[in-house]
């Protein structure tokens, strides 16, 4: 798959990266404003179109970082803005530091996300903290409402999504567990987590107005 292929200008590209012991899961999405509803009551909805979802295998971490930087750099050349959301849990922090150095000249903005087992999302400071369940619930909700569109070419991602199983414990706590690997699912979840405002997707992008400022 080509990392990013689109008609017209790409205003924003989102990339999610989940690091494994011997591979890297990468998901690239292009968020767009899509007109939905009826002719009498049209509405605009932000929809993420998945443009790339693949595993990058490596024998040396440095090799994996080079291949990942090539993918991100290729996307950054085609998009006005590129945002990269990286799993910075455990050894991911080391890999993220390497990636930042390689992306310095691309203009891509890197967000570090620690995936936690519980708690509430914290989106401030240099490193965000987001529970795994919150990431998966968000993906499930967006898929159910048409907020994510996945092409048939992304068979590995589709297979991983189909393998997810939700369970409710005796204490009525919800958990989502994969039957197989979920690396690509987590990469997608990272890519679509951060909220997008409509003005960010217009061309040219409009600055977001806060409190009338």
User: Which residues are CB-contacts of 204 (< 8 A; sequence separation ≥ 6)?
Assistant: none
Sketch out the chain's domains with CATH numbers: 10-154+181-201 (3.30.420.320)
More confident residue, 188 or 100: 188
**The two structure tokens encoding residue 98:** 């390497």
pLDDT for 126 beyond 90: no
Whether the upstream peptide bond of residue 4 has omega within 30° of 0, thus cis, is: no
Say which residue, 187 or 42, is predicted with more confidence: 187
Please determine, for residue 205, whether its predicted confidence score (pLDDT) is greater than 60: no
- Who wins on pLDDT, 40 or 106? 106
Report pTM: 0.86
Mind listing the pLDDT tens digit for each residue in 84-111?
999 998 878 888 888 888 888 888 999 9
Residue 17 in this model has a pLDDT that exceeds 80: yes
CA distance 65 to 56: 9
| pLDDT average, residue stretch 197-201 | 79
Coil, helix or strand at residue 196 = coil
Q: Please determine, for residue 82, whether its predicted confidence score (pLDDT) is greater than 80.
A: yes
**What angle, 0 to 180 degrees and rounded to 10, lies between the N-to-C axes of helices 61-78 and 92-102?**
50
Q: Does 52 score more than 90 pLDDT?
A: yes
Closest to 11 (Cα-Cα) out of 49, 42, 44: 49
Kindly report the average pLDDT of the chain as a whole number.
Answer: 84
Rounded CA-CA distance 99/101 in Å is: 5
Contacts of 124 (CB under 8 A, 6+ apart): none
Which residue has better confidence, 73 or 167? 73
Q: Rounded distance, CA 139 to CA 168, Å?
A: 18
Cα 128 from Cα 145, distance rounded (Å)? 26
């Amino acid at each position: 798959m080509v990392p990013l292929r689109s008609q017209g200008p790409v205003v924003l590209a989102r990339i999610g990266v989940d690091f494994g012991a011997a591979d890297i899961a990468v998901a690239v999405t292009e968020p767009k404003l899509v007109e939905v509803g009826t002719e009498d009551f049209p509405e605009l909805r932000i929809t993420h179109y998945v443009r790339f979802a693949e595993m990058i295998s490596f024998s040396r971490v440095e090799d994996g970082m080079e291949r990942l930087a090539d993918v991100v750099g290729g996307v950054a050349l085609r998009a006005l803005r590129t945002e990269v959301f990286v799993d910075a849990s455990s050894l991911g922090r080391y890999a993220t530091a390497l990636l930042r150095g390689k992306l310095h000249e691309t203009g891509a903005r890197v967000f570090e996300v620690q995936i936690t087992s519980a708690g509430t999302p914290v989106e401030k400071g240099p490193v965000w903290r987001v529970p795994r369940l919150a990431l998966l619930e968000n993906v499930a909700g967006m898929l159910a409402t048409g907020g994510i569109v996945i092409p048939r070419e992304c068979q590995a991602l589709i297979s991983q999504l189909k393998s997810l199983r939700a369970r409710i414990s005796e204490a009525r706590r919800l958990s989502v567990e994969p039957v197989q690997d979920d690396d690509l699912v987590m990469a997608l979840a990272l890519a679509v987590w951060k909220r997008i405002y409509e003005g960010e997707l217009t061309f040219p992008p409009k600055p977001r107005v806060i409190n009338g400022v």
